Each structure stands twice: as structure tokens, then as C-alpha cells.
Amino acid sequence: MRPAGRGETDSLYFDYPCFDAPEKARGATLSEPTPVAIVGAGPVGMTAALALAREGIRSVLFDNKSTFNDGSRAICVARESFYILERLGAVAPFVEKALGWTTGRSFYRGQQILEFNMPDGPSEKFRPMYNIQQQYIELYLWQAVSDSDLIETRWQSEVIGVRNTSDGAILTIRDTNGTYTIAADWLLAADGARSPVRGMLGRRLAGENHEGRYVIADVQMNHDYPTIRRALFDPACRPGGTVLIHRQPDNIWRIDYQLTENEDADEATREDVVRRNVEAVLSEIGHDGPWELEWWSIYSANTLALDDYRDGRVFFIGDSAHIVPIFGVRGLNNGLADAQNIAWKLGWVMRGKAGTDLLDSYSPERRGATLDVFENATKSARFMTPPSHGWRVMRDAALSLALDHDFAGKLANPRQMTPYTYGESPVVCPDDPAFENGPEPGKVIPEARLQQGYLSDHLGPGFNVICFGADLAQELEDRLAAEDDIRVLSLPARSEAAHVFGAARTAAYLVRPDRHVAARWHQARATSVITAYRKATCNNGAEA
């Protein structure tokens, strides 16, 4: 919502573009079949299209709007997402614009009870978290999408029908010129939390709605505070409630405050009420200068997901598959990881580099990641908004104790950065117990300094085998087939990478295109590496 007199996309700092519907003259070609159709040109749909293009796969993106999503919405982009964007060749404008951060501070009744730092240091290429408004995220993705020859975007084109067939999906689309159908080999449903595709296929989200409603309001002001997330528990401006404050680019600040049980949602989102509540928060944090109200919205904390992210030829990605509470800052980050996961797999299957069974690993891997988020988010939600008397008593006890005892402040840690492991995946090998540290199979590989840059700069676009001795590397080079899309990286046995991988001269890691570890060996042999590569790409029977 925006202040009276301003339209939905009438922003203080951002010019929303307006995209036309496809031309009528092209009507005849609109029905031409496409390898992949993507419903929804939000951040997740655009990321999927870019990730498919990277595998050489053409797609058509449909969106019923004529511009980007309104409002800043998801503002916290995690380190892992920057790697996804980097892989798509789209990260540069994000690095330029976004505000990186590592630190959060929690306050109880005005007194600081916790300062947490997310892991960071000179061995890291990206910061643990970045703040940037969602419309910039969409703009920068869009710039990459519109530069790609492999992606066709159709704005103002609403998908009104979807049907699975034995070898594809049929979509019905309505645009300003009429209605047509199009056949696709595969369909990605990136159509958001209300997902019409989900409804048309008769699927429902399952899970819980949590207590607590929050108003999120963006204000523009000159406010002198570093990019540090602040959480205020039981502040004077909102007794018993919780307030979150985030800095964004362009002098925009996100003020996020909890409503009490007896505050009515309609009343609480009225402009004058929002202004009054924001003013109270601002004076509590010592801002008495001018400020302008940019945008506001209301949300409640849900943990909802589909039981299966796949339905025949249709894959659900992003909010259409799961809705998570936003204090975990995982909604968008998880969606980007969904897009990357399905896109490389689909690309590899469509190019004949992987067996079709690989696609069955999408749902267990990504749904598993969502359930992980649920668990952490449920813990955070219980702290931010205690659901019952017992939780409230203990929360207040922890906060009150934290004023004098640091250990209790840790209970207020928002757990924003728990990385996920594809532990239950059918295409990830069991761990080699000989390792004492380093990332186990299913985890994302850590970063390390290498020569003038970073380890990630040296990774090939497909699979990578990271070896720490030249003999194994040479043997692998000799035995891999020409069509294997795998790069052999031979790193020094005495290097920062060897240290963080817990690797001796004989060790090797097999790493997937999405930087998750597929398998690792303390004493690697070339045959085991090649067998694991076949397993990870579901090419078991393909060749000896």
C-alpha cells in the first residue's frame, strides 16, 4: 500500500517500467510449442529462465502483470543466492547496489542483550547477507532475461488453464488480444503464493499458520546507523511487541512491527495509523528528523508447503511450492535455490547428459530444505510471537535474564543462516567416514582463497572433481569420456582449500553444478569417482 494520492507503483525512488502484451500480429506464432514454459516472471521464474538458458535451453515466461511486483517485499538476499546469481552471470549489479551485512543486534526494553555475527572473513567472496529491495532484484534479473536470446517473455499474459499430458503440458493463455493454447515439454510453476497453476492441478499447501501479524513499512530518511539488523523486544513504543529494523539502499529503512491481538488489521494498515506507529518506533531509535512514508503491507507467519513439488510434467518452484515466515529471510532465497536446482537438472536431462530419474530428486532435495526452514522459522516465530502462555513466560524469562547474562541472549538468535544439506537425496552418495571435517555429501562447498581469487572462480560450469594430488587428476583426465561434462581441478595439497575440505593428498570431492557435494573420498580412486558421477546424473546404465 502507498500513501493517499500515490498509485501502486508510484515510488519515491524507483521507476517501474511498463511492459506491453505480445503483439497481435505475432498471434500465429504464439502457439508454437516451447521446450519449457514458465508461469510467473517474479524473481524465481526469471531465475529459472536464466538458469535454463545457461544450460542452452529455450523457455517462454508468462506473467499477467505489466511490471515488476510492487513494494520492496523480500529484502534480505543470502550469500548462497549471490552464488546462484553469479552462476547466471547476473551478480554484478547486485554487488554494486546491495548493502552487505554480518551483524545483528537484539534489544530488550531498550538495552542491548545480544550481538551476533554471521561467519565472514577474507576467505569469503560474498558477505553472509545483503539488503536490497525486491524491485531491484527483479530489475537486475530482467536486464539479464531481456539480454538472453533463449528467453521470450510475454507480459500481460495470464495462464488460465493447465493440463498435464503424457509427454508435456498444455497451457491456455489470455492476453489483451484474446486466448490461445501452447504446448510445452515441461512447465515450471513460479506463479507465487496464490499459485493459480497449483489450484488448476488440484494441489493444496499443507502446514500451519502461526500466531502474530506484522506490518512492514518502508520509510525514506537520513538515519545514521550501519547496516545492522536491529530487533527490539518489548520496546517502549510497542509494549509486549517486537520490532525489526533493516537498512536498504537509497536511504530506505524497513520498519517491521508486530500487531497486538486487539489491533484490527484493517485499522492497523490505515495510513494515519501506520504513520503514528512508525513515528513512535523512529523516536525510540532516536530519529527525530524528517521522514517520508514509501510503502507498507501486512503479513502473518505461515509454514505451508506442497507434499510433492512435482506433478507430472509440472514442477513447482518458489512461493507456489512453499510459504515460510519472513523472519527466517528464506522465502525468496529458497525460491532462487529451487529455480537453480530444477533448471540444471532439467537442462541436463533435456540435453541427454543425465537420465530422467534425476528429476525425481528435485522434490526431496528442495522440500527437505523447506522443512529445515520450517523448523528454524518455527523456533524464531515462537520467540518473536509466543503462541501460548508457556512460551511467553519462558521468552520473557530469557529476555530478562539476558540483560545480565550473555548466555540467555543466544536464545534470541534469529537463526537466519543455517545452510541446508541434501541429506535425504537419492542422488547424493553416503559419506566416507574417514573424513574428520570438510563438507559432507549434500552440503554446499565452502569458499577458499586460491591464487589471486577464490576457489569458486575456478569451477567449471558442469560437475567438478576437486583433487588434491596430481596423479589422481591425471588418471581422471585419461578415463573420463569426451561427453562427460566434468572439470578436474587439481589443487595443492597444502592450500587453504585442502584445509577447509579436510583433505589429504589422496582425497577428492565430486561437486555438482549447483556446488553441492555429490560424493567425497578420503582415498579416492578414479573408478569410484566416475561411478559416482554416473549415479549423480542417473546415467547408471548408460555406459560401462
Partner 1 sequence: MTPTELESVYEALATTIDQVGESKTELFLAKLTLLLAERVGDTPTVLRSIRDSARSL
List the single partner that 191 binds among ligand FAD, partner 1, none, CB under 5 to 8 Å by kind. Answer: ligand FAD
442 is an interface residue for ligand FAD by CB under 6 A: no
Binding flag, residue 215, ligand FAD (CB under 6 A): no
Task: Please identify which residue in 22, 52, 54, 73 interacts with ligand FAD, judged by CB under 6 A.
Answer: 73
Q: Report the sign of the C-alpha dihedral through residues 421, 425, 428, 430, in that order.
A: positive
Tell me if 196 contacts ligand FAD by CB under 6 A: yes
Closest CA to 179 of 21, 61, 20: 21
Q: Does 118 bind partner 1 (CB under 8 A)?
A: no
**Judged by CB under 6 A, which of 318, 364, 441, 442 binds ligand FAD?**
318
What sign for the dihedral angle of Cα 337, 338, 340, 344? positive
Q: Angle between the 79-87 and 331-350 helix axes, to the nearest 10 degrees? A: 30
Torsion angle of the four alpha carbons 470, 472, 475, 479, in this order, in degrees rounded to the nearest 10: -130
Measured from the CB atom, the residue of 217 and 412 that comes closer to partner 1 is 412
Is 397 a binding residue for partner 1 by CB under 8 A? The answer is yes
Q: How far is CA 93 from CA 130, 279, 445, in A?
A: 13, 33, 24
Q: Choose the contact partner of 318 out of ligand FAD, partner 1, none; CB within 5 to 8 A by kind.
A: ligand FAD
Please state the closest distance from residue 199 (CB atom) to partner 1, in A. 45
Closest to 43 measured CA to CA, from 350, 417, 320: 320
> Residue 136 and residue 217: Cα distance in Å, rounded?
17
**Residue 522 grid cell:** 578420503
Instruction: Identify what 319 binds: partner 1, ligand FAD, none; CB under 5 to 8 Å per kind.
Output: ligand FAD
Both ends of the chain: CA-CA distance in Å?
A: 61
Tell me the β-bridge partners of 232.
107, 243
Does 221 contact partner 1 by CB under 8 A? no
- Residue 428 touches which of ligand FAD, partner 1, none (CB < 5 to 8 A by kind)? none
Antiparallel, parallel or unpaired: β 151-154 and 59-62: parallel
Counting residues that bind ligand FAD (by CB under 6 A) gives 34
CB of 234 to partner 1, least distance (A): 12
- Segment near partner 1 (CB under 8 A), from 158-166, 231-239, 272-280, 396-404? 396-404
Our finding on whether 398 is near partner 1 (CB under 8 A) is yes
- Residue among 205, 202, 151, 192 nearest 39 (CA): 192
- Among ligand FAD, partner 1, none, residue 42 binds (CB under 5-8 Å by kind): ligand FAD
Nearer to ligand FAD, 113 or 301 (CB): 301
CA distance 313 to 165: 8
Does residue 40 touch ligand FAD according to CB under 6 A? yes
Gap between the Cα atoms of 110 and 367, Å rounded: 39
With 0-12 CB in 10 A as exposed, 13-18 as middle and 19+ as buried, what is 414? Answer: buried
Distance, CA of 175 to CA of 190 (rounded, Å): 18
The 99-138 site mask, x for binding ligand FAD (CB under 6 A), equals -----------------------------------x----
Q: How far apart are CA 329 and CA 306, in angstroms?
A: 19
Q: Shortest Cβ distance from residue 399 to partner 1 (Å)?
A: 10
| Cβ distance to ligand FAD smaller for residue 338 or 496 | 338
User: Does the protein bind ligand FAD through residue 369 (CB under 6 A)?
Assistant: no
Residue 353 phi/psi, 5° resolution? -90, -10
Nearer to partner 1, 76 or 398 (CB): 398
| Binding-residue pattern over the window 319 to 338 for ligand FAD, x denoting contact by CB under 6 A | x------x--x-xx--x---
| Spatial distance between the Cα atoms of 455 and 395, rounded to a whole number of angstroms | 42
Q: Which residue stretch of 61-69, 217-225, 424-432, 488-496 sits at the interface with ligand FAD (rule: CB under 6 A)? A: 61-69
Look at residue 408 and give the partner it binds from partner 1, ligand FAD, none, a contact being a CB closer than 5 to 8 Å depending on partner kind: partner 1
Q: Give yes or no for residue 347 binding ligand FAD (CB under 6 A).
A: no
Tell me the backbone φ, ψ of residue 10, rounded to 5 degrees.
-90, 85
Segment lying near partner 1 (by CB under 8 A), choices 7-15, 267-275, 391-399, 489-497: 391-399
**Which stretches within 41-102 are classed as H helix?**
43-54, 79-87, 92-97
Mark residues 400-439: x for contact with partner 1 by CB under 8 A, - for none: xx---x-xx-------------------------------
**212 sits near ligand FAD (criterion: CB under 6 A):** no
> For partner 1, which stretch binds (CB under 8 A), given 3-11, 271-279, 389-397, 458-466?
389-397
Residue in 69, 227, 258, 385 binding ligand FAD, rule: CB under 6 A: 69
* Alpha carbon separation from 90 to 140, 141, 190, 462, 511 (Å, rounded): 7, 7, 19, 18, 22
Query: Do the beta carbons of residue 339 and residue 332 sit within 8 Å?
Result: no
Residues linked to residue 207 through DSSP beta bridges, in sequence order? 304
Q: Classify residue 263 as exposed, middle or buried by CB count within 10 Å of its CB (0-12, 13-18, 19+).
A: middle
Query: Does the footprint of ligand FAD cover residue 163 (CB under 6 A)?
Result: no
* Residue 130 buriedness (CB in 10 A; 0-12 / 13-18 / 19+): buried
Q: Which stretch binds ligand FAD (CB under 6 A): 43-51, 430-438, 480-488, 524-532?
A: 43-51
Residues near partner 1 (CB under 8 A) are 393-394, 396-398, 400-401, 405, 407-408
| Binding footprint of ligand FAD on the chain (CB under 6 A) | 39-45, 62-65, 69, 71, 73-75, 134, 158-159, 190-193, 196, 216, 297, 299, 318-319, 326, 329, 331-332, 335
